[in-house]
């Protein structure tokens, strides 16, 4: 499976990247990705029948995207989801091209696959150690290797696989991580005579960034933040406007109820949470395994669902470190053309 363009549009939840954005990216030759987290939020029985609603919505989004493109489509499924297994099985049953899986180590992901299945399995890691652990487990237990590995650095948006004190430490920069992951995977590539492409992610914003990471040995890049401010992005206009209105100092690190640091755009909702104000909620489904919902000041899924709909009084927008650089809403086609030009300029 070869993408014409070595750009993966990162999966963004809750429901920021669905069939609309994913198909538009795939049509331009990149890899479009649907995010599985709480994908059933618009189903009428979402609160009463969480599992079924999400399965149904994922099927519908994959089928909708397939109608809109003949390009390569992926699904992002977080290991931390309580319905992880259901989402993986559904994506495979629907014949999705690629499953990207992070927010935890997807050590058992190959158990859902069979030799007859074409779906590629791509873990998302934040260290060379994690990449090595996954490759070792998959090779020993399932006699297979990852089809590629995404290494996501600390400048990414949303939940981060780093401790807060290491986020700005140069020792954990993506520039260091990419060559380290490539080296960690080399012994497995040699033993199995198979290439494992390494995809750089987290803070990549321009074509010049893409060129820089190719020089470091990356085979492709994953970009999410820059795709938010496109017409085809599945978020509301108010969500996109939060990116356009943001300044550098508005992009902050928060402590998420799921027990990980996250990067988001500062707003009144987050200010109130940081002041100790609780946002009462009921948790009918416990969607993230690591969430201590009884002790949480707010429900992160509910906050992200509100944000997707444009209700930022009761939610907030996750965003990468470069979100403040967005200047306007353009089409995916225009964005890809811009990235290609920026890449060409950097390579001259």
322 is a domain residue: no
Task: Note the pLDDT of residue 294.
Answer: 72
Q: Which residues pair with 101 in a beta bridge?
A: 123
Is the same domain home to 287 and 343? no
Is the same domain home to 99 and 177? yes
2 is a domain residue: no
Residues 6+ apart with CB under 8 A from 217: 178, 179, 182, 198
Is the same domain home to 153 and 285? no
Say whether pLDDT at 115 is over 80: no
Q: In angstroms, what is the C-alpha Rg of the chain? A: 19
1 is a domain residue: no
283 is a domain residue: yes
Mean pLDDT of the chain: 94
Is the same domain home to 148 and 247? no
Task: Please write the tens of the pLDDT for every residue from 274-311.
Answer: 888 877 667 666 777 776 777 788 888 889 999 999 99
Determine what percent of the chain is predicted with pLDDT higher than 90: 82
Task: Note the pLDDT of residue 280.
Answer: 64
Task: Note the pLDDT of residue 300.
Answer: 87
Least confident of 205-214, 223-232, 278-287: 278-287
Say whether pLDDT at 65 is over 90: yes
Is the same domain home to 245 and 202? no
Whole-model pTM: value is 0.95
Is the same domain home to 220 and 241? no
Strand order in the sheet with 158-159: 158-159, 261-265, 251-255
Determine the structural domain holding residue 288 and report its residue range: 237-314
- The CATH number assigned to the domain holding 203 equals 3.20.20.70
**Averaged pLDDT, 23-38:** 97
Task: Note the pLDDT of residue 114.
Answer: 78
Residue 152: its H or E element: strand 149-152
Say whether pLDDT at 50 is over 80: yes
Say whether pLDDT at 337 is over 90: yes
Task: Please write the tens of the pLDDT for every residue from 131-187.
Answer: 999 999 999 999 999 999 999 999 999 989 898 889 999 999 999 999 999 999 999
**Averaged pLDDT, 29-38:** 96
**Averaged pLDDT, 43-50:** 90
How many residues make up the chain in this entry? 348
320 is a domain residue: no
Q: Which residues pair with 32 in a beta bridge?
A: 73
What is d(CA 26, CA 6) in angstroms, rounded to the nearest whole number? 11
Number of domains in the chain: 2
Is the same domain home to 209 and 294? no
Task: Note the pLDDT of residue 2.
Answer: 93
Is the same domain home to 203 and 307? no
Q: Which residue is it, tokens 């353009």?
A: 330
Model confidence band, residue 80 (pLDDT cutoffs 50, 70, 90): confident
138 is a domain residue: yes
Is the same domain home to 34 and 183? yes
Least confident of 145-154, 225-234, 254-263, 288-297: 288-297
Nearest to 242 by CA among 251, 232, 234: 251
Is the same domain home to 59 and 151? yes
Is the same domain home to 41 and 126? yes
319 is a domain residue: no
Is the same domain home to 168 and 283? no
């Amino acid at each position: 499976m070869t993408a014409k363009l070595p750009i993966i549009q990162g999966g963004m939840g809750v429901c920021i990247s669905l069939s609309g954005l994913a198909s538009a990216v795939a049509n331009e030759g990149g890899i479009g990705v649907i995010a599985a987290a709480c994908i059933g939020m618009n189903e009428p029985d979402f609160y009463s029948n969480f599992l079924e609603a999400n399965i149904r919505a994922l099927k519908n989004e994959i089928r909708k995207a397939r109608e809109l493109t003949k390009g390569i489509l992926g699904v992002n499924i977080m290991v931390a989801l309580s319905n992880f297994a259901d989402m993986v099985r559904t994506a495979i049953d629907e014949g999705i091209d690629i499953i990207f899986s992070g927010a935890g180590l997807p050590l058992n992901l190959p158990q859902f696959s069979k030799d007859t299945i074409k779906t590629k399995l791509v873990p998302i890691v934040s260290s060379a150690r994690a990449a090595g652990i996954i490759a070792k487990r998959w090779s020993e237990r399932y006699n297979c290797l990852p089809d590629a590995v995404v290494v996501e650095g600390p400048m990414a948006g949303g939940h981060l696989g780093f401790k807060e004190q290491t986020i700005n430490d140069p020792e954990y920069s993506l520039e260091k991580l990419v060559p380290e992951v490539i080296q960690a995977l080399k012994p497995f590539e040699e033993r199995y005579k198979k290439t494992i492409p390494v995809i750089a992610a987290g803070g990549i914003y321009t074509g010049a960034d893409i060129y820089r990471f190719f020089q470091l040995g990356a085979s492709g890049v994953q970009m999410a933040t820059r795709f938010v401010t496109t017409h085809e992005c599945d978020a509301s206009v108010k969500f996109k406007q939060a990116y356009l209105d943001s300044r550098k100092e508005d992009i902050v690190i928060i402590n998420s109820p799921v027990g990980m640091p996250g990067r988001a755009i500062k707003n009144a909702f987050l200010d109130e949470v940081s002041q100790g104000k609780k946002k009462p909620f009921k948790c009918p489904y416990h969607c993230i395994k690591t969430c201590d919902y009884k002790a949480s000041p707010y429900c992160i899924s509910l906050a992200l669902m509100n944000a997707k709909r444009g209700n930022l009084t009761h939610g907030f927008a996750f965003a990468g470190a470069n979100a403040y650089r967005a200047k306007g809403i353009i089409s995916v086609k225009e964005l890809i053309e811009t990235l290609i030009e920026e890449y060409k300029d950097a390579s001259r």
